[in-house]
Amino acid sequence: MSHSLELIRRLQSPTGAYPASPTFSAYRGYSWLRDGAFIAEGVSRHGDLAGADAFHTWCARVIGDRAGQVDSLVARAGRGEAVPPAQMLPTRFTLDGADGTDDWWDFQLDGYGTWLWALREHAFRHGRAVPGVEKGVRAATRYLTAFWHLPCYDWWEEHVEQRHVATLGAVHAGLRAAIGLGLLSPAESEAAAAAVDGITGLVAAEGVAGPAPGAGHLTKWLGTDAVDASLLACVEPFGLYAADHPVGVATVAEVEWQLAADGGVHRYLADTFYGGGRWVLLAGFLGWNHARAGNRAEALRHLDWMAAQATPEGDLPEQVSGVLLAPDRLREWQERWGPVATPLLWSHGMYLILADELEVR
């Protein structure tokens, strides 16, 4: 734990942003709302209030600075215009909060919902509000309320043509959190609540596959029966379905059956990125779900596996290549972007979260 905390503190930008990875060619110099939210959740649980505050303040500034853009996008949609994905808010930002100039798969909604969720968790955990976040919270809420129903890229920057259940789960949690923070206007709160209800109904109708309504598992996107490990977050921590709900139980079981291997977790069966290895942070999500379900021994097994993937210096990678789904695709990514991202701060954040869930210090 101490190395993860020290690494995150040392690498946090003076602006408050958490870099995704300080050395990986495709990530260097950028911060994701999604990655950073889970990193902030990890350090918040271990007492680094200043670091988490700084990240949430940075997010609120970055999003609040784009409030005019949000209002323009919402107005255009309200007039019936189809807003192209390229004109939506960015998925990642430079450490000083700019859009960045490198091409990326930028229309992702989950990060905005995940940030709102993490902000509320942090504020309620420590019994105090993070100052100066209202403008950003309200802008993020208006953005999600207006566009939650649109197809967009998923956690992995893929399949912009689909509506992803993990994204809907993040937005669902984020809008509930925004309402709970008490910073919205009555109209914003009412619209957010309506969106929450809309997501609940849509996922129940089109995002659950199984033998009977209310008894199947969540799916990678609406209308398929495939799963993705990002669905774990829809149970814990986002609570789209509770850990003891039949759909929550079935989702964790299906992801584990299809994608878990010896403590690690693959993203999805057709994954070819760096050969489709096992992701350290996904082992954290599976362990988190087991911990909340009372399966302590299984959760500890995943925590131990995460720790075992560290370099001699203690750094955790994004994924490991010991068990690959597509081994013939590993070299092409190494030639394109270099070695696997190491350290990946999100991996360290998830390690801190799972350790806290298990009260391991």
Catalytic (active-site) positions: 154, 157, 318
Q: What DSSP line would sit under 191-234, residue for residue?
A: HHHHHHHHHHHHHHHHSEESSSTTTSEE-SBTT-----GGGHHH
Q: At what angle do helices 49-64 and 33-45 cross, to 10 degrees?
A: 150
- H helix count then E strand count, the chain: 14, 8
Tell me if residue 123 falls in helix, strand or coil: helix
> DSSP label at 262?
T
**CA-based R_g, the chain, Å:** 19
List, in sequence order, the alpha helices (H) in 12-66: 33-45, 49-64
Per-residue CA distances from 219 to 108, 204, 247, 290 (Å): 18, 11, 11, 19
Contact between residue 208 and residue 221 where contact means Cβ atoms under 8 Å apart:
no
Residue 30 parent element (H or E) = strand 30-32
**Phi and psi at residue 261, in whole multiples of 5°?**
-150, 110
Distance CA 293, CA 339 (A): 36
Tell me if residue 164 falls in helix, strand or coil: strand
Distance CA 96, CA 116 (A): 20
Sheet holding 278-279, edge to edge: 260-261, 264-265, 278-279, 319-320
